Amino acid sequence: MRRDTINYLVVGIFVLTMFVLLLIVLYQITGRSGPTEHYFVSYGNVEGIKYGTPVLYEGYQVGQVELVEPVRSGAGTQFRLTLAVREGWQIPSDSIARVVKSGLLSAVAIDIKEGTADTPLTPGSEIRGEEAADLFGAMADVASDLRALSRESIRPLLDNINQQVTVLSGDLQSLTRESLRPLLDQDMKKLLDRLNHSADQLAEILSEDNRGNIDRILANLENASGSLDQLLVRIEESRTNLDKILNDVNTVVTSNQDDIRSAVTDLRKSLHTVSQHIEAVSHHMEGSSRNMHEFTRQIRENPSVLLRGTPQPDGAQP
């Protein structure tokens, strides 16, 4: 009997211990880890947000949603959330509370994006809210817009294009049958006539009589090519000889550079002396030319001057 009492006592203690542990776990799950402070944030859509929704600060849980209440006004209905945040937790005044989902099937949470302001919010203040983008709603809106676009714009456009293509195809067929085909037939006939005429002229050029002439022309061209090669060889030899001559002249000038410089100096002095006495030389040459002119005049008048040396007296003078 005493052993049964001990067993019942152990089982009771175990059940009480498990119950206490369950309460502790539930307390931890609800985010209550001590005293909290309340902040507020407003959203136009609170889908998935309810009591107990976690409140995160840069991904770290600091509290939970305590209350969701609608606030109606002329601009529409807004939902004001009361956030229970761990006491003493500093939140900059320009922080933003965003509705986030870590995955498509995960639960919704309120994530506070830390701001850069130096002044923190006081408990009871309003945090600027930012709603999460509804991916499925956006996809539904896009699908609806695409459906309306397909019915109202694309389908009539395709019908119009189909009609225009049908009309254009008929016009092309009629144009081909009535205009292009006769024109092409006529042009092809003219082209064939020109080709036949060109072929006849080519046959005349390549006749038996002209083949000999063409062969002789080709032979002459070959001979001219050989002569040109010989001429190029001779030109190359002449160029080589000219290079040798220029090298010899350069050698002579280089080896006799002092003599050439002395000759140039003497020539410069001679030219300087001539330039100084050129006026006297020209004066004497002018006098000599006058005397020669007078001498020739006297000879023309009296050639005997060459023999006697004195002019004959003029008998006509009184």
Q: What pLDDT band is residue 57 in, cutting at 50, 70 and 90?
A: very high
Please tell me the distance from the alpha carbon of residue 4 to that of residue 66, in angstroms, as a whole number. 47
Predicted confidence at residue 175, as pLDDT, reads 63
Average pLDDT over residues 181-199: 76
Predicted confidence at residue 81, as pLDDT, reads 92
In what helix (H) or strand (E) does residue 186 lie, and over which residues does it extend?
helix 181-205
The secondary structure of residue 107, as a DSSP letter, is P
Provide the terminal-to-terminal Cα distance of the chain, rounded to the nearest Å.
215
pLDDT at 102 over 50: yes
In the chain, pLDDT over 70 holds for what percent of residues?
82
Q: Is the dihedral of CA 297, 303, 305, 307 positive or negative?
A: positive
Residues 6+ apart with CB under 8 A from 124: 37, 38, 39, 40
pLDDT at 149 over 80: no
Average pLDDT over residues 84-97: 91
Cβ(30)–Cβ(64) below 8 Å: yes
To the nearest 10 degrees (0 to 180), the angle between helices 208-255 and 257-301 is 100
Q: What pLDDT band is residue 27 in, cutting at 50, 70 and 90?
A: low
C-alpha of 30 from chain center? 60
Which amino acid would we find at residue 20?
V
Pick 39 or 21 by higher pLDDT.
Answer: 39
**From 53-62, 134-143, 151-160, 292-301, the region with the lowest mean pLDDT:** 134-143
Strands 128-130 and 108-113: unpaired
Encode pLDDT of 248-288 as tens digits: 888 887 888 887 888 888 888 888 887 887 888 788 888 88
Token pair in block for residue 294: 């007078």
**Spatial CA neighbour of 124 closest among 66, 36, 38:** 38
Q: 56, exposed or middle or buried, with CB in 10 Å at 0-12, 13-18, 19+?
A: middle
**Spatial CA neighbour of 122 closest among 34, 40, 31:** 40
Token pair in block for residue 288: 């000599």
Average pLDDT over residues 118-129: 90
Q: How many CA atoms lie within 13 A of 184 on its CB side?
A: 7
Please tell me the distance from the alpha carbon of residue 243 to that of residue 266, in angstroms, as a whole number. 31
Cβ(117)–Cβ(92) below 8 Å: yes
In what helix (H) or strand (E) does residue 205 lie, and over which residues does it extend?
helix 181-205
Residues 6+ apart with CB under 8 A from 55: 31, 61, 62, 63, 64, 65, 83, 84, 85, 109, 110, 112
Cβ(83)–Cβ(55) below 8 Å: yes
Strands (E), 58-106: 60-73, 76-86, 96-101
**From 14-23, 61-70, 136-145, the region with the lowest mean pLDDT:** 136-145
pTM, 2 dp:
0.38
**From 5-9, 134-138, 243-247, 305-309, the region with the lowest mean pLDDT:** 134-138
Cβ(45)–Cβ(81) below 8 Å: no
Please tell me the distance from the alpha carbon of residue 311 to that of residue 309, in angstroms, as a whole number. 7
In what helix (H) or strand (E) does residue 55 lie, and over which residues does it extend?
strand 54-57
**Spatial CA neighbour of 115 closest among 96, 89, 98, 95:** 95
Pick 123 or 148 by higher pLDDT.
Answer: 123
Q: What pLDDT band is residue 318 in, cutting at 50, 70 and 90?
A: very low
C-alpha of 253 from chain center? 60
Task: Compute how many other C-beta atoms are within 10 angstroms of the C-beta atom of residue 92.
Answer: 16
pLDDT at 291 over 60: yes
